[in-house]
Amino acid sequence: MKKVIIIGATSGIGYELAKGYVKKGWRVGVAGRRIETLEIFKSSAPDQIEIEQIDVTETDSPQQLQRLIDKVGGMDLFILSAGVGNQNRKLNPDIELATAQTNVVGFIRMVTFAYQYFKEQRKGHLAVISSIAGTKGLGVAPAYSATKGFQNLYIDALAQLAHMEKQPVVFTDIRPGFVETALLKTGTYPMLMKPDRVARKIMKSIKRKERVVVIDKRYAIIVFFWRLIPRWIWERISISNK
């Protein structure tokens, strides 16, 4: 039986992915900060699901991840879905720093641990949920877009490192557009997608071992044209959060 570990599975995309892999018959390890939600999810398939309360901003989160892997009995696929994001035009430093703590510091803790695990195992698939927001700096959400760009580059670097070290680790950088989750609780966003639909597309992309995937086709077109916009024009574009 295949085994997947999903970090950030108490809501949104991570939760829908966990449900999807349970339906496919995988052994599923789920983690998040809300233990009550995890316990309710485990009760839906107690013989198939293992849980662990993990806060990626805590220094002992890698040890907690190892405990979850031990409970599941191994790990073939690792999915990092934990993340925070806020529109912050007033540049509240607490919001900016908290975003970096989760999306950068916590991201590094989880991803490096997973990579080392797969390196020792000599196989594995490491997938992260980043965002199209990493494509360009969004004035309404500086820390969020910057940290997502960091995640994109970090996975690029790890993929190169794996090649240099001749490690058979597969990487998938999943970049959704705007998804109707608690993550986008501030401001308004166009073309919101449903988490269950996004999760199905992600699972297909992971099965195909795609290296980078933008969810969905509409956002892929948007990102293509975003990249063509010169910096001096982009900086003059007004993006509203009302």
pLDDT digit of tens for each residue in the chain (242 aa)?
999 999 999 988 999 999 999 999 999 999 999 999 999 999 999 999 999 999 999 999 999 999 999 999 999 999 999 988 888 889 999 999 999 999 999 999 999 999 999 999 999 999 999 998 888 888 888 999 999 999 999 999 999 999 999 999 999 999 998 777 655 554 555 567 888 999 999 999 999 999 999 987 888 888 888 888 888 898 888 665 44
| Nearest C-alpha neighbor of 55 from the set 82, 37, 17 | 82
Q: Is the pTM of this model over 0.75?
A: yes
Query: Distance between CA 54 and CA 60 in Å, rounded?
Result: 9
Other Cβ atoms closer than 10 A to 89: 13
The identity of residue 208, as a single letter, is: R
Measured in residues, the chain has a length of 242
**Phi, psi for residue 176 in degrees, rounded to 5:** -75, 155
